[in-house]
A = this chain, B = another copy of it.
Amino acid sequence: MSAPTTSQPSLLPAALLSQLEAIFADRLHLGQAIRAQHGASETHFDVVLPDAVVFPRSTEEVVAVVKACVAADVAVIPYGAGTSIEGNTTPTRGGVTIDLSEMNAILQVNAEDADVTVQAGVRREQLNEHLRDVGLFFPIDPGANATIGGMASTRASGTNAVRYGTMRDAVLSLRVVTPDGRDIRTARRARKSAAGYDLTRLMIGAEGTLGIITEITLRLHGIPEAIMSAVCSFDTLEGAVDTVVQSIQLGVPLARVEILDDMQMKASNAWSKLDYPEKTTLFFEFHGSERYVQEQVETVSAIAADNGGGEFKWSNLPEERARLWKARHEAYYAAVGLKKGAIGWATDVCVPISRLAECILETKKDLATASIPATILGHVGDGNFHVVFVLDPNKPEEAAEAEALNKVMVRRALDMDGTCTGEHGIGLGKQEWLVEELGDAVEMMRAIKRSLDPKNLFNPGKIFSL
């Protein structure tokens, strides 16, 4: 990640600037520092400054800034918590970053229907704290304390997806401001519908290129009567993956199951003060009634033992569970902490689970020959794993090496009928791979983009160039 070396003046037309001032007053920001913050990414992408940052407090204000910018041919970039990792919010062509963090109201909890409507800037931890008293929770957990709007825009998933699905499954309806300045709702609050095109799913994962999500209605789940966590180390990667595959085949509804390789365990032991063996390890969570959770633990521990697993350390203590998942959430920072002053380059692929062990093993072989440290961790129940390359930001040759390793890994995943990104999105980083993966289907995406955003002003340059 390289910082901009000179201060960049805002290039917005004067007429647009006065319009934005009229709408936002002191919530319009032109200063270098706040623009640099919104032009940065969590990972290795170069900083590019937006010309301005605005903080709307209502959908009506989003409509107003969209109409003003579109009339002036200026790009708009929606921004949540800035935790995406493929450069998804980098304002590559300048323009106005619309920071939705002040739209953070939880609008309506419908406990009997197990759904909630929130503004796009609500963060997932805030939502779960709010819901605890009604016995419900929102399961999607990408690790970072992301905004719900950002999670929808990148089709986020994470540790609970094996049981509860991804944002694709969690969203019932969206309120969206479109490039023509319309304020639409993509669906009603019913659990299912066969009414017309699935605009909800079209917007989820569109990374803000087709509209700006301002409100989201989410499906919730009851907090389970009982929760148990467990940790188990394996001598072989195949043993760990086979344990998961066989558990799923037997119908065990694993609530979470994460794989961490030996290098990640070393990093996490140091960073999160754990003392697990530095071997391939599975972190589990089980949800259900007391009896049923007990049955799940019995079943899975027997399967793990059959597959060369070590001690199956299960626990029903909330503090033990919290410690485990805190470590999992810190895994990225733990990896980056392997080298002082380093930055991380995170990538992910997802393959059919029958190919997962082979895909990870071949990737590990490549990483073993590399000069840079790298860890592997992933959502093994989905066939999805991440590599974190740990880079010296002052050595461009390390970034080049990471890029080469990434290329080999993505190519391998595609050859296994997998995808170039399970949950990070395309952003800036995976555009050539999207075309490799889907070929002519990308032309259909481009046609949709052109029809809905003919001036190419909504987060331009992301997913594909036009």
Contacts and interface: CB of A to CB of B under 8 A. Distances in A.
Interface in A264-323: 287-289, 291-292, 295
Interface stretch (A125-133, A368-376, A391-399, A434-442): A434-442
A407 interface: no
Interface string A429-466: 01001100111111111011011100000000001100
A184 B383 contact: no
A56 interface: no
Contacts of A417: 188-190
Interface in A225-264: 225, 245, 248-251, 253
Contacts of A295: 289, 291-292
A15 to B, nearest CB: 27
Contacts of A250: 222, 225
A331 interface: no
Interface in A169-201: 169, 178, 182-199, 201
A251 B287 CA distance: 10
A384 B166 contact: no
B251 A222 contact: yes
Given A249-B222, A354-B112, A418-B190, A206 B195 contact: no
Contacts of A87: none
A422 interface: yes
Chain A interface SS verdict (over half)? loop
Given A191-B383, A426-B195, A112 B353 contact: yes
A447 B112 CA distance: 36
A23 interface: no
A412 interface: no
Given A198-B202, A295-B291, A191 B382 contact: yes
Given A168-B201, A194-B424, A448 B442 contact: no
A110 interface: yes
Contact of A192 (B110, B245, B350): B350
A199 B165 CA distance: 18
B354 A194 contact: no
A407 to B, nearest CB: 16
A143 interface: no
- Counted per complex, copies of this chain come to 2
Contact of A439 (B185, B197, B248, B434): B185
Interface residues of A, number: 94
A204 interface: yes
A193 B354 contact: no
A200 B420 CA distance: 16
A254 to B, nearest CB: 13
A188 B351 CA distance: 9
Given A190-B384, A191-B382, 9 more contacts: A113-B354, A169-B169, A183-B440, A186-B438, A193-B421, A194-B425, A195-B420, A202-B448, A253-B253
30 contacts: A112-B249, A113-B353, A114-B248, A161-B192, A166-B192, A168-B192, A178-B444, A182-B443, A184-B441, A185-B438, A188-B414, A188-B417, A189-B417, A192-B384, A192-B423, A194-B205, A194-B425, A195-B425, A195-B433, A196-B441, A197-B210, A198-B201, A198-B202, A198-B204, A201-B201, A222-B249, A222-B250, A291-B295, A292-B295, A451-B451
Interface of A: 110, 112-115, 135, 154-157, 161, 165-166, 168-169, 178, 182-199, 201-202, 204-206, 210, 222, 224-225, 245, 248-251, 253, 287-289, 291-292, 295, 350-354, 382-384, 413-414, 417-426, 430, 433-434, 437-445, 447-448, 450-452, 463-464
